[in-house]
Amino acid sequence: MIELIPAIDIINGQLVRLTKGDYGQKKVYSDNPADVARHFEEMGFERLHVVDLDGAKSHHVVNLDVLRAITSATNLIVDFGGGIKTEDDIEKAFAAGAEMVTIGSLAVTNPELCYEWIKKYGAEHIVLGADVRDGKISINGWKEDSDLELMPFLKRYVERGIRNVLCTDISKDGTLAGTNVDLYKDIMKHFPNIHLIASGGVSSNDDIDRLVAAGIPAVVFGKAFYEGKIDVRKLFDSQNTHKSSLAKRIIPCLDVKDGETVKGTNFVNLRHAGDPVELGKIYSEAGADELVFLDITASFEGRKTFTEMVSRVAREINIPFTVGGGINTIDDVDRLLNAGADKVSVNSSAIRRPELINEIASKYGSQVCVCAIDARLDDDGWHCYVKGGRERTSLGLFEWAKEAERRGAGEILFTSMNHDGVKTGYANDALAKLAAELNIPVIASGGAGAMEHFRDAFTIGHADAALAASVFHFGEIGIADLKRYLRNEDINVRI
């Protein structure tokens, strides 16, 4: 999967495209950028890259009215760049509806100020613009080349917590000559945990497919769309095909209380289910793809026991495993990863302090951060719950899942409280909506009672993985049998 981001570049209030950043090679595509933005939203895009080219040239933001018109007309997530030179510029951009701002020239000329902005506004709201020509960073609307090499420039900002990087190959931009895939692969090799947005030269769906194959997280495109060289329907179809072609994962979940595995119904009525390490070994040998261990103890001694258990699991089990429960700070993450966990799951703590997701993703990469969401379908819709499902929050399931993704979560683990432990099947309608609205994997949890329920989670709910507990713990469904059944149902699973 790759995040697809159309671009709107503005000069004199009009939507334009330049060639290689040359203001003398300008082509006007629309007098009403807001109408174009609405069209993007209707087609299914969720994010938009807006560039104030007048601002980039004149060193101050110029086209705020256009930005405001776009954000008023759509629900798109907009990142805005061009002429951002002061904190007042940032505040005005946010006030006009931008979710993020892109910092380009100033990141070269005044890095200390930019470091302060990353700290003040959060890395999720700052995009580092790295405009490259002949290996050097360009500034001032691409009119000047600095002496800074790309990789040292990026390293400086990654060390300061930047996560979103928009890299434009100026020699390709607006040429429809194809993307510089090798450049973006090299960046990802050096900085595998950033959210890299490739820009410049996209000429067709094939160019985007090549970026997908190279593992590039996101791409910006403009001229190829406006010139009719991108088939949007095929683009989204290929995205869905790529996602659905990945092997579906079966994940046993072990709730651990004082060193023992337990399982309940609707988050209560706990029953003992065995030693977590021994169970984990059995599941690993039976063909489980991953494991999840959730610490449901509250005491300090219980946390210590859980950490010791994680160390035992790491020594004795050779499949990836995620741990969660009681993770409130980056120090808790350090403790559990150092004990041998592959990923951490955050739930209530992330709702209380969403910046925790950013901190984990920034330090360890999105692949380490699983955002678990306990939600219930109430009379007024799906709502997130905390404190083991005892307290309702003001957050809606889908809004929070999208925010978690924007902040850097690598996966969403969705547990339906209505379905948990009752064995009537997963919440497939909600799963399908999450899968459609997110670009990261969704793990189904709550409701497994028969093999058909796993099938439905994958075919109806479009989940990427299915998690279950009691049906595995008490021998009701064997993992090997389940995978054979799913394979016979034409579902791609590893056997």
DSSP per position, 419-468: TTTT-S---HHHHHHHHHH-SS-EEEES---SHHHHHHHHHTS--SEEEE
Residue 283 burial (C-beta neighbours within 10 Å; 0-12, 13-18, 19+): buried
Residue 144 vs residues 47, 57, 87, 108, 148: alpha-carbon distances, Å: 29, 11, 23, 12, 12
Beta carbons of 435 and 279 less than 8 angstroms apart = no
3-state secondary structure (DSSP) of residue 155: helix
Give CA–CA dist 461/372, Å, rounded.
17
Residue 336 vs residues 315, 326, 327, 360: alpha-carbon distances, Å: 14, 11, 9, 12
Q: In 454-484, which positions are buried (b, 16+ CB within 10 angstroms) versus exposed (e)?
A: bbbbbbebbbbbbbbbbbbbeeebebeebbe
Matching residue, tokens 């939507």 = 15
**Residues belonging to the chain:** 495
Beta carbons of 338 and 345 less than 8 angstroms apart = no
Helices (H), 163-230: 181-190, 205-213, 223-226
Give CA–CA dist 347/395, Å, rounded.
13
Nearest to 290 by CA among 318, 311, 321, 328: 321
The identity of residue 156, as a single letter, is: R
Give CA–CA dist 209/425, Å, rounded.
35
Give CA–CA dist 461/459, Å, rounded.
6
Per the residue annotation, which of 9, 255, 456, 464 is the catalytic one?
A: 255
374 is catalytic: yes
The identity of residue 445, as a single letter, is: S
Per the residue annotation, which of 79, 131, 374, 420 is the catalytic one?
A: 374
Matching residue, tokens 């210590």 = 304
Give CA–CA dist 127/104, Å, rounded.
9
Catalytic residues: 255, 374
